Amino acid sequence: MDATVTDSYAVVGNPIEHSRSPEIHTAFAAQTGQDICYRKHLVEPGGFVAFARDFFARGGCGLNVTVPFKLDACAFADELTPRARAAGAVNTLMRRADGTVLGDNTDGAGLVADLHRLGWPLRGRRLLLLGAGGAVRGGLLPLLEERPALVHIANRTASKAERLAEEFAGSGNLSAGGLDDVPPGFDLIINASAASLADEVPPLPASAVGNHCGAYDMVYGPRPTAFMRWAAAAGAETADGLGMLVGQAAESFYLWRGVRPDVAPVLEQLRREMQLSA
């Protein structure tokens, strides 16, 4: 009788040492009774295709892909899900039964799931997205599928935001502009810009924060980000992106295993560990 083979998964990126994906997916597997092995791999620039080809040839079942290889993964996949096509980037690869590789992007689904977890409604609400890079592109379609009244994209370079709004115009009510002409009164503000990485706040008017507004920063850490502190001072309820990290991982796990894990205990454990190590 053949010995049971543990299904192999991994996350690849550069850098990768900081990745929490192995502990997240190992916790999901223990919770749902799945037999998997999940590792992280540092891949040098230009080496993604060779690594992925070898990984799947050796029987690997799925890969998570992080910076700077999401575009490489998009090109590598034999087929893309609609949300991966919309994002133009892939963070999850899955080898299917026929040997072909499916590319998906679970970032936006992870964001939407975390907003639901927080109890922040999206349908019929006015949303402000800060930034116009890959994080915004990855989140746009899943957010628009929630049927908000408006999604306004604001970016330092207004033309970049306007191009994104034009590209996704058929999926919902979109507008765009610079950070110097942001309309007032939003129900939810999502910071997908790089400002928080430098502990900075995008130059926003306080009038952007509407009544009972939520302010969500995709960056996470043991302490509130500069954006979260600014939003709280303007009267908003705030949250960071740790729940999005766990949510996108849960979406990948569901794609691979057909079982949806409970994110709450994993999120709580990560939050505890992060605060203890601060």
Q: Is 139 annotated as a binding residue?
A: no
Q: Is 95 annotated as a binding residue?
A: no
229 contact partners, CB below 8 Å, separation of at least 6: 201
Q: Is 107 annotated as a binding residue?
A: yes
Q: Is 138 annotated as a binding residue?
A: no
CB atoms within 10 A of CB 108: 27
Q: Is 159 annotated as a binding residue?
A: yes
Q: Is 156 annotated as a binding residue?
A: yes
Q: Is 160 annotated as a binding residue?
A: yes
Q: Is 131 annotated as a binding residue?
A: yes
Q: Is 249 annotated as a binding residue?
A: no
Q: Is 240 annotated as a binding residue?
A: no
Verify whether residue 40 is a known catalytic residue.
no
Q: Is 21 annotated as a binding residue?
A: yes
Q: Is 9 annotated as a binding residue?
A: no
Q: Is 248 annotated as a binding residue?
A: yes
Q: What is the DSSP string of the chain?
A: -PPPPPEEEEEEESS-TT--HHHHHHHHHHHHT--EEEEEEE--TT-HHHHHHHHHHTT--EEEE-TT-HHHHHHH-SEE-HHHHHHT--SEEEE-TTS-EEEE--HHHHHHHHHHHTT---TT-EEEEE--SHHHHHHHHHHHTT--SEEEEEESSHHHHHHHHHHTGGGS-EEEEEGGGPPS-EEEEEE-SSGGGGT------GGGEEEEEEEEES---SS--HHHHHHHHTT-EEE-THHHHHHHHHHHHHHHHS----HHHHHHHHHHHHHHH-
Q: Is 134 annotated as a binding residue?
A: yes
User: Do 210 and 186 form a contact (C-beta atoms < 8 A)?
Assistant: yes
In this structure, the dihedral spanned by the alpha carbons of residues 25, 269, 193 and 86, taken in order and rounded to 10 degrees, is 30
Question: Annotated catalytic residue: which of 70, 125, 137, 257?
Answer: 70
Q: Is 254 annotated as a binding residue?
A: no
Instruction: Supply the residues annotated as catalytic.
Output: 70
Q: Annotated binding site for NADP(+): which residue ranges?
A: 131-135, 155-160, 218, 241
Q: Annotated binding site: which residue ranges?
A: 19-21, 66, 91, 107, 131-135, 155-160, 218, 220, 241, 248
Q: Annotated binding site for shikimate: which residue ranges?
A: 19-21, 66, 91, 107, 220, 248
